[in-house]
Chain A
Amino acid sequence: MAAPPYGPDPVPLVVEELSVAYGEHLAVDRLSFSVRPGEIYGLLGSNGAGKSSTIKAIVGLVPPAHGRLRVFGLDPATDGLGTKERLGYVPETSLLYEALTPREFLEFVASVRRLDPGTSSERARNYAAAFRLEGEFEEPIASLSNGTRQKVLIVAALLHQPPLLVLDEPLNSLDPRSVRIMKDLLARYVATSGRGVLFSTHTMEIAQQLCHRVGILDRGVLRAEGTLAALRGRSDAGDATLEEVFLRLTREGEGLDTAVRALEGR
C-alpha cells in the first residue's frame, strides 16, 4: 500500500547540523540524523548528553541556534502549525494541566487537533482500556501518580495517530505491563507505512529491543549511529550488548571500576 502523503517529503524527520544553546552553554553541537519511514530511531545518551534539548528543538520548544529541521519536508521555523499537526509528543516530565481530568485534557487535545467526536472517543476508550486508565479517567490529574500521568500523555500523543511520534524517555515511570504494551504498540505503529518514531532513552536494554537504529549522543555530539550490528562492528565489540557498545563508544566506561572501588572503600 502506498504511503499516505504526510508532507512534501516522505522522510518523517531530518535533522541537519542542529545546534541548541542556552546562553553560553552549547547543549547540542551540529547534530545530524534522520528518522526514516517505518523506523524507530533511538537517541541514546547519558544524563545531560543533549537528548531532551534535541527533542525540544524538534517539537518547537527551544529555537535552534544553528541548523535545519524538516518534518516530512516541512520546516518548523516557517510552518510551525504544519509540523505540530504531524507530531505526537511525550515529554520527559509530566507537567500537565493539573486541574483537568484525563478526559477533559484529552478533549482539549482532540479539539486543538480538530478530531471528530466518534474517532477521538473510540481511540481514547481503547487506549485507556489498554493502559488501565478507566478508574482515573474522571479524576483531576493533580491527584494521579507519575506513571498514570505518563500514560495520559502517551494517549494524548497517539490520539490523532500522528505520522511522527517524538518520545522523550516515555517509559521512565511506567509499570512493567504498560512498558510491554508500549513496546508492542510502537513496533506495530511504525508497521503502518510511512510513519516514524524518535525515541530517547538512557535505558540500553529497551533501546536494544525496540529501535531499528540508534544514535549515540555524548555531550551534545553524535558519537556514532547505526544498527546494533553496525555499532558492534565499529567498536570491535563482538556480540556485546548495546550497553557495552555505548560505554565503549562514549568512553563512559573508562575509570568505572576505579569509581566503584572508591565508593566501596569509603
Chain B
Amino acid sequence: MGWREAWRISSVAFSELSLQAIYAFRQGNLPPAGPPLQMVRRARRRVVQSKVLVAAVLGLLVAGACALLEVSARIVATPFFGVVVPTGVFQMGVLTGLLAIEVAFLWWTGLQVIPTLLASGVLPVLEPLPIDERTLGRVAGLLYLRLFDLPAAMVLVTTPLFVAASLGAAAGLAIVPGAFAAVGFALALALWTGRFFVRRVQGARGGGGRTLVRWAYLVLWVLPAFAMFGLVIAAPGFLAIVGRTLGGGPSLGSDLVLSVFPITLAILPAIAVHGTAAFALDATGRAVLSAAAAVYVVLTAWAVVWLMASVRRTGLAPVLAPADAPPARFVLRPRGPARAVLTKDLRIASRMPGYAFLVIFPILEAVAIGLFTFVTGPGSSAALGLALAAVATAALLATFFGPAFFAIEVIAYAYGRTLPITDRSILTGKVALVAGIYLIAAGVVLGLTLVRVFQPALFVAFVLAEFPAVLAAALLELGLLFRRARARGLPIVNLYSGGWYAAIIAVPGLVVAGGPLVAFRLLGAAAPETALAAMGLFALGELAICAPFALGRRDGRTG
C-alpha cells in the first residue's frame, strides 16, 4: 500500500476524527437529535471553519508584519531605547518576530488539538485491520497534518508572497526556508510536548503536593502562547539589543545572534535586499550564518520525518499512572454543588492542558505586563497605567476564555445529566472560576507592582469597579451557551475545533467586559474618583441586566 492508499484511509479516519472533535462521544457526550449523516457533515464543516479561523489569524499576522516592512524606513527614524537600528536589522527583526509568532501560534493550536486526537480513539481502531505498518504510520501522520492543512498552507504560501510584495521577489524566495521551518518545528514541537504533557500530567495521581507539580508542568504548557505575547511586548527592546550587537561589528556575540532560530532564517530576506555589508558580516559571520541555515533546513526535514513516524506511537500510547502507589485516602469532602463544579473543573484542568491553558494564561499575561512597570521611566503614572492595563487584560482574557470553560461539561455529559444538579449551580461554579482567575491575576499584579505603583486604594478600586462587568460578561456568555446546549446539545470540545463558536459567543462578553474599561478611559481626564465611580456604575448596570438573563431562566427543579 502506498501514499495514495494511506491518503484514502486517512480521509475516512478524518471524518471520524472531525465527529469526535466536535461532538466528543468517546468522552461521554450525548448525540444530538437529527440524522447521523447530517451530524457527520456538520462536524466536517465545523472543523473546516475552525481551520479557516486559525488560518485567517495567521494570515492577518503575516499581513501585519509585512505592513511594518513597508514602512520600515519611517519607523527606524526613531531610535529603539536610544539605539539607532538600520533598516535591514529592523526588517530582520520583524521577520524574526513573524516566524516566532507563527511557530508559537501553530504550536499552541497543536497543543489544543492533541488531546482531542488522542481521545477520539481513531488510531487504535485502525490497528487490527490488515494494513501494513508503514501505511498505518503514514495514515497517522497524514491525519495529524490534515488537522493543520489550511493554517500550514497559509503560512507556507502567504509568508513568501507578502514578503515578496514588500521587499521584492528575492526576499520572498529567501524567506521560504524560514516558513517551512516554522511549520515543521511547530508541528513537531506540538506533538513532542503534547505527548509528554498528556502522558505525564494525565497519568499523575491525585492529592495534595502532586496537584502543585501538575500545575507547574502546565505553566510550561502555556509558554508558547505566552511567548507570542511577550515577543510583541518586548520587540523594541529586542531590536535595540540586536541592533547594538550587530552594529558593533563582527564579534562572537553577533555570530551567536546569527545562529539562533529564527534569526538565522529571518535575516536571509534582509540580506537579499541589503547585502551582507548592511550587517557588517565578515567571513566567519557568513560561514556561521550559512552553516546555521543549513542545519535548520536539515532539522526541518528531520522534524517532519520524526513527526510522521511518531503520530501513530503517540496515538496508541495509553495514559499510564506511575508505579509508586500511595496509600489510598478514603476521605471525601463534599462541598456545595456550585463549589463542586468549580473544584471538578479545576481538577480536570489540572490534568488536561488544553483547559489548564485557559486558567493560567490570563494570570501569566497580567504578570508579564505587570513586570513591565519596572522598565517604565521615572514617576509612577506610566507604571500605574501599565498595572491597570494588566488588570484590564486579565479581565478581557478571562472573559474571552469563558465559553471554553463550558466545554468541560462535554466530558461525561451523559453521566452528568443524570445527577441532581441545577443549571444554576453549574453556571455559578463556572462564573466563579472566571471571577477567580480575574481576581487572582489582579492580586498578583498588585503584589508585583506595589513597589513601583504605591497607590493601592486606586488600584483596588479599579479592580473592584471592573469586577461586576467580569461577572456580567461570564454570565452572559455561559447563559447563551446553556440555552444553546439545552436546545441543540453541547458543541464545544476545544478552542481549536470549537473556535468558531467560542469566538462568536465571546464577542458580546468582550463588549460587556470592555464597556466599563472604555468608560474609564473616556473619563480619564476627569478626577480618578469620578471615572472609577462611572466605571463601577456601568459595570453594576451590566450585571443587573445579565444576571437575570442567565440565572433567572429556570426554577431549578427540572435538573
Interface residues of A (CB under 8 A from B): 22-23, 59-61, 77-82, 84-85, 87, 89, 91, 95-101, 103-104, 106-117, 120-121, 124-125, 128, 134-135, 137-140, 142-143, 153
Contact = CB atoms under 8 A, between A and B. Distances in A.
Which secondary structure dominates where chain B touches chain A?
loop
Interface string B345-375: 0011011100000000000000000000000
A232 B50 CA distance: 59
B444 interface: no
B420 interface: yes
B334 A140 contact: no
A99 B332 contact: no
15 contacts: A23-B33, A81-B420, A89-B418, A91-B414, A96-B28, A98-B119, A100-B344, A101-B205, A107-B332, A110-B334, A111-B336, A111-B340, A125-B330, A138-B207, A139-B205
B27 A98 contact: yes
B204 A140 contact: yes
Interface in B22-58: 26-28, 30, 33-35
B331 A121 contact: yes
B150 interface: no
A84 to B, nearest CB: 4
Nearest to A123: B332
B412 A96 contact: yes
B203 interface: yes
Given A81-B559, A96-B415, A137 B334 contact: no
Nearest to A126: B330
Given A23-B34, A85-B420, A116-B334, A95 B414 contact: yes
Tier of interface size on chain B: 35 or more
B398 to A, nearest CB: 21
Nearest to B203: A143
B318 interface: yes
For the complex of A and B, the 3 pairs showing the least CB-CB separation, nearest first, are A111-B340, A80-B559, A95-B28
A91 B414 CA distance: 9
A79 B412 CA distance: 22
Contacts of A140: 202-206, 319, 321, 351
A124 B330 contact: yes
A77 B422 CA distance: 14
Given A87-B418, A108-B340, A97 B348 contact: yes
The residue among A82, A85, A100, A128 with the most chain B CB atoms within 10 A of its own CB is A100
The residue among A22, A112, A125 with the most chain B CB atoms within 10 A of its own CB is A112
B412 A114 contact: no
Contacts of A117: 331-334
B206 A104 contact: yes
Interface in B399-456: 411-412, 414-415, 417-422, 425
A112 B331 contact: no
B412 to A, nearest CB: 5
Contacts of A153: 415
Contact of A135 (B325, B412, B418, B558): B325
A87 B207 CA distance: 29
B419 A113 contact: yes
A117 B335 CA distance: 9
A112 B320 contact: no
Nearest to A63: B33
Given A95-B26, A108-B344, A138 B334 contact: no
B326 interface: yes
Nearest to A109: B419
Interface in B143-160: none
B244 interface: no
The residue among A98, A111, A139, A140 with the most chain B CB atoms within 10 A of its own CB is A111
A84 B331 CA distance: 25
Contacts of A91: 414-415, 418
B347 A103 contact: no
B266 to A, nearest CB: 39
A125 B26 CA distance: 29
B347 A84 contact: no
A128 B559 contact: no
Contacts of B352: 99
A111 B328 contact: no
A81 B556 contact: yes
Contact of A138 (B206, B340, B420, B558): B206
Nearest to B351: A99
B328 A103 contact: yes
A95 B328 contact: no
B329 interface: yes
B27 A95 contact: yes
Given A81-B557, A107-B332, A138-B326, A112 B411 contact: no
